[in-house]
């Protein structure tokens, strides 16, 4: 897009060559409001986090920094709760991302049909996305209550055993993942639907002429046409899963992530280090580890996508 507009412009350029000097600087004026604030509150904190992570900084005296070198990082790697949080982030990430995206794909496929009430379905499915993490978690924490939660009531009244959705490792992680899945499935379904609608209808027609079944059409026309969209949603949801925070914080209302840290994520661990234990320097080290993790995941995603492309050709 940028290429075509630059290519078209030179024709018009000579006419207004003797430009006023203000003209040359004016574009920067348009960018200034964004870039000044972006540099101050976006880029600087991100980079400065690395510097802070090499110091001892305490919450109450946050203007004092004592050089520590890599000590925050070695403490981190020696802390079993850090590894626990890393593991939990991974398992909760898988438990929430995989079902979420698969269901979204199926729902998008159905929404792509000619249906009565399509607009209604779309809006209804997006409502969880409009709900805040805090509100959604408070409601789900109630639903998942051990003694009086609606879900356990349904389980026991259908003759099944009630589940302790807080104390059990898998049960609590499933509970937290359910909140994420509930909030994001509809959103991802709409993203997939948008991608599906840009697949030319002729592809389906010619596949149908060739005798492809509905399933084969989905498998060989829809999914390949959707590949860039799928890569996009996978990247966005993995980044989201890496920094999961509000759901585990409010699930039981403590920054430890459960009585034995059974669902404490990296985001929650960062918060606990900084705002429960007052070690901002160590929290910064956690943030920097999370940043590296996200870069790594993005690279991995890109590599997998590139490889799939090559093997397809």
Partner 1 sequence: MTHVTTQALDKPAAGKRSSVRAGGRRARSPLHGGPLAHAVLIAATLLAVLPFYWTLVAASRSNAELSAATPALTPGPNLFHHMGEALRQAEIGKALLNSLLVSGTVTAGVVLSSTLAGFAFAKLRFRGRGALLALTVGTMMIPPQLGVIPLFMVIARLDLQNKLPSVILPSLVSAFGVFFMRQYLVQALPDELVEAGRTDGASLLRIFRSIVLPVARPGMAVLGMLTFMATWNDFFWPIVALSSQNPTVQVALKSLGQGYVPDQSVVMAGTLIGTLPVLLVFALLGRQIVGGIMQGAVKG
| Residues of span 187-206 touching partner 1 by CB under 8 A | 187, 190-191, 193-195, 197-198, 201, 204-205
**Judged by CB under 8 A, does residue 215 bind partner 1?**
no
Scanning residues 254 to 273, which ones bind partner 1 (CB under 8 A)? 254, 267, 271
Q: How far is the CB of 162 from partner 1 (least distance, A)?
A: 13
Rounded CA-CA distance 187/18 in Å is 51
**Judged by CB under 8 A, does residue 125 bind partner 1?**
yes
Stretch that binds partner 1, among 68-76, 145-153, 165-173, 304-312 (CB under 8 A): 145-153
Nearer to partner 1, 255 or 313 (CB): 255
**Judged by CB under 8 A, does residue 93 bind partner 1?**
no
Q: Which two tokens stand for residue 91?
A: 């398992």
**Judged by CB under 8 A, does residue 300 bind partner 1?**
no
**Judged by CB under 8 A, does residue 26 bind partner 1?**
yes
Stretch that binds partner 1, among 67-75, 84-92, 232-240, 304-312 (CB under 8 A): 232-240
Nearer to partner 1, 123 or 313 (CB): 123
What sign results for the dihedral spanned by CA atoms 94, 111, 190, 196?
A: positive
Cβ atoms of 237 and 188 closer than 8 Å: yes
226 SS3 class = coil
The contacts of residue 291 (CB under 8 Å, 6+ apart) are 46, 49
Taking the CA atoms of residue 172, residue 175, residue 179 and residue 181 in that order, the dihedral angle to the nearest 10 degrees is 110
Q: Which two tokens stand for residue 196?
A: 């599906």
Nearer to partner 1, 74 or 206 (CB): 206
Q: Which of 71, 73, 86, 128 binds partner 1 (CB under 8 A)?
A: 128
Residue 185 CA to chain centroid, in angstroms?
Answer: 12
**Judged by CB under 8 A, does residue 158 bind partner 1?**
no
Nearer to partner 1, 113 or 313 (CB): 113
Provide the pairing of β-strand 66-67 with 55-56: antiparallel
Q: How far is the CB of 172 from partner 1 (least distance, A)?
A: 16
Query: How many other CB atoms sit within 10 Å of the CB of residue 95?
Result: 20
Scanning residues 97 to 116, which ones bind partner 1 (CB under 8 A)? 103, 106-107, 110-116
Rounded CA-CA distance 23/114 in Å is 52
Rounded CA-CA distance 8/34 in Å is 28
Q: How far is the CB of 171 from partner 1 (least distance, A)?
A: 19
**Judged by CB under 8 A, does residue 73 bind partner 1?**
no
Stretch that binds partner 1, among 5-13, 66-74, 75-83, 168-176 (CB under 8 A): 5-13
Nearer to partner 1, 48 or 313 (CB): 48
Tell me the three-class secondary structure of 148-190, residue by residue.
CCHHHHHHHHCCCCCCCCCCCHHHHHHHHHHHHHHHHHHHHHH
Rounded CA-CA distance 252/262 in Å is 12
Q: Which of 28, 69, 158, 161 binds partner 1 (CB under 8 A)?
A: 28
Residue 193 CA to chain centroid, in angstroms?
Answer: 19
**Judged by CB under 8 A, does residue 214 bind partner 1?**
yes
Q: Which of 77, 83, 102, 131 binds partner 1 (CB under 8 A)?
A: 131
Rounded CA-CA distance 255/258 in Å is 8
Scanning residues 160 to 179, which ones bind partner 1 (CB under 8 A)? none
Per rule CB under 8 A, count of chain residues that contact partner 1: 112
133 SS3 class = helix
């Amino acid at each position: 897009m940028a290429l075509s507009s630059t290519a078209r412009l030179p024709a018009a350029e000579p006419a207004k060559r003797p430009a006023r000097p203000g003209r040359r600087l004016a574009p920067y004026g348009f960018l200034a409001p964004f870039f000044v604030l972006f540099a101050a509150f976006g880029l600087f904190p991100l980079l400065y986090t690395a510097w802070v992570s090499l110091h001892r900084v305490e919450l109450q005296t946050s203007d004092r920094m004592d050089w520590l070198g890599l000590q925050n990082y070695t403490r981190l790697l020696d802390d079993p709760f850090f590894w626990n949080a890393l593991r939990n982030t991974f398992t909760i990430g898988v438990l929430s991302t995989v079902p979420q995206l698969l269901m979204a794909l199926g729902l998008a496929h159905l929404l792509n049909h000619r249906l009565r009430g399509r607009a209604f379905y779309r809006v209804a499915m997006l409502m969880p996305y409009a709900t805040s993490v805090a509100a959604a978690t408070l409601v789900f924490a109630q639903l998942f209550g051990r003694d009086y939660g609606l879900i356990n009531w349904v389980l026991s009244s259908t003759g099944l055993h009630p589940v302790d959705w807080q104390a059990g490792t898998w049960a609590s992680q499933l509970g937290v993942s359910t909140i994420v899945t509930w909030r994001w499935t509809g959103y991802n379904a709409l993203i997939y639907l948008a991608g599906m609608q840009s697949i030319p209808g002729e592809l389906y027609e010619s596949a149908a002429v060739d005798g492809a079944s509905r399933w084969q059409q989905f498998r060989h026309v829809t999914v390949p046409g959707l590949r860039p969209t799928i890569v996009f949603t996978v990247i966005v949801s993995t980044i989201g899963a890496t920094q999961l925070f509000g759901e585990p914080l409010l699930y039981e209302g403590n920054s430890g992530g459960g009585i034995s840290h059974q669902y404490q994520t990296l985001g929650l661990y960062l918060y606990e280090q900084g705002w429960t234990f007052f070690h901002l320097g160590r929290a910064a080290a956690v943030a920097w580890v999370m940043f590296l993790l996200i870069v790594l995941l993005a690279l991995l995603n890109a590599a997998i996508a590139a490889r799939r492309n090559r093997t397809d050709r």
